[in-house]
Amino acid sequence: MPGLVIVGSQWGDEGKGKITDLLADHAQLIVRFQGGNNAGHTIVRDGEEFKFHLIPSGILHPGKTCVIGNGVVIDPEVLLSELEGLKKRQVSVANLRVSANAHMIMPYHVLLDTAGESHLGKLSIGTTRRGIGPCYADKSARLGIRVQDLLDEKILRKKIMAALEPKRLSLRPYEKDPSLDLHTITERYLEFGHQLEPHIADTARLCWESLDRGENVVFEGAQAALLDLDHGTYPFVTSSNPTAGAACIGAGVGPGDIDEVWGVAKAYATRVGMGPFPTELVDTDEGRRMLERGHEYGTTTGRERRCGWLDLVALRYAARLNSMDALVITKLDVLAGFKSLKLAVRYRSSEGAVLDHFPYHQTILHSATAEYEELPGFGEEITECRDEEELPSAARDFLRFIEEFVGVPIRLVGVGPSRDQIVELGEGSPYS
Ligand code: IMP
């Protein structure tokens, strides 16, 4: 089963990093294929906490090759500081490879992101303000700066000049910002290029060679289906495609190289930023309990995440969008002690119509309310459970209900933040 894609199935922060880290044990290559440092992965290893924004979670495995694919947008300062942080903790980064075709986040992208959000006022998207949207916009407008450009001073200067020009108007309030000076930016980015040079590679070829040798390759998605630029809750989405199809584009492989797609979902739901969230618990004890027990604060921005019940209508939609072969349910332990557990099984439109499918129309989704199936809760803590049989029967019933509704088997269940706090169901890990 060489090509395995791991994607988020909700609004991000499902715990994909931990799952990738776990599956990376059996893979030779781990590839990030979209997004940028808007993502944040926290991995706890032997009691030590690691936070990543750009580097694939597989970096903690000595000898594995980790790739930042062409579909990722890279803030070089963030990447270099992550590399520095890892080196200080004696983690080897020698096997990190960065696609020469990946696009760079430039200082003006960050300024434009902030300016754009401020202009929108009440209509703002709630972005992470890391320059992600403006960077992808420049990529599409063919004004982007790619990693390979950092290695050629003449080209770099020309391209930055061309990219800066059309932004003058919107960046007028920032005119005196030194980070907008052509010479200063060029010099800084040349220096970044110099430092990154040992890692820059033709990463698509690395993927082909690894797959051709029959090695396992894990494609690690960031964000999630409902933040997908095309299929998510537009415009409250990110500017890339966090769905499985994008693994091909963002890594440079064909659909035939993908053998399985695994979706990760929390046992409840969270969202950061603005946008519709039909199962949100606003100002309720249950929502606060999820926030506190689940430590639901953003890895990237520290923002409090909005919490709510697991939305099976949305999860089934994500499963179909991704051709999902298996589900991983994380943070089931957070739900211990809830009297009952709710699962959204349909929506009701503001006009009273029953909606069995995720509505494609923004207006309908914004005003839809979720209707629930209510199952008994489990009182006992489950953080020590390692086998399916050790889980309380109410927890097993909860999982079974999800599987049946979504039509996708659950293979792994997270019962705590550590690597070993995992329960395998059915066939378990694809590599066991
Ligand atoms: P952007 O990706 O910074 O442009 O933000 C667009 C939307 O995606 C905002 O609602 C962000 O909160 C959300 N978002 C981006 N990255 C993540 C993530 O890794 N986890 C959860 N939400 C994210």
In this structure, is the dihedral angle defined by the CA atoms of residues 229, 299, 14 and 94, taken in order, positive or negative?
positive
In short, whether 112's Cβ falls inside 6 Å of ligand 1 is no
Q: Is 163 helix (H, G, I), strand (E, B) or coil?
A: helix
Q: Which amino acid is at 41?
A: H
Query: Whole-model pTM?
Result: 0.95
The whole-angstrom separation of Cα 268 and Cα 287 is 10
Atom 16 of ligand 1: nearest residue by CA position: 38
pLDDT at 41: 83
The whole-angstrom separation of Cα 345 and Cα 430 is 29
pLDDT band at 302, cuts 50/70/90?
confident
Does the pLDDT value for residue 300 go beyond 90? Answer: no
In short, whether 39's Cβ falls inside 6 Å of ligand 1 is yes
Largest CA distance in the chain: 66
- Nearest one of 233, 256, 230, 255 to 243, comparing CA atoms: 230
The whole-angstrom separation of Cα 383 and Cα 254 is 40
Mean pLDDT (the chain, rounded) = 94
pLDDT at 347: 98
CA-based angle 122:123:128, to the nearest 5? Answer: 95
| Tens of pLDDT, residues 8-26 | 999 999 999 889 988 988 9
pLDDT band at 432, cuts 50/70/90?
low
Does the pLDDT value for residue 74 go beyond 90? Answer: yes
In short, whether 126's Cβ falls inside 6 Å of ligand 1 is yes
237 C-alpha vs ligand 1 centroid, how far in Å?
7
Q: Which amino acid is at 236?
A: F
The whole-angstrom separation of Cα 314 and Cα 45 is 32
Does the pLDDT value for residue 151 go beyond 80? Answer: yes
DSSP label at residue 188: H
Atom 10 of ligand 1: nearest residue by CA position: 273
The whole-angstrom separation of Cα 252 and Cα 385 is 40
Q: Ligand 1, residues 128, 233, 303: which to mutate, most atoms within 8 A of Cβ?
A: 128
The whole-angstrom separation of Cα 21 and Cα 61 is 8
| Burial (CB count within 10 angstroms: exposed 0-12, middle 13-18, buried 19+), residue 47 | exposed
Structure tokens at 427: 């066939």
In short, whether 125's Cβ falls inside 6 Å of ligand 1 is yes
Q: Catalytic site residues?
A: 13, 41
| Tens of pLDDT, residues 183-217 | 999 999 999 999 999 999 999 999 999 999 999 99
The distance of Cα 293 from the centroid of its chain, to the nearest Å, equals 21
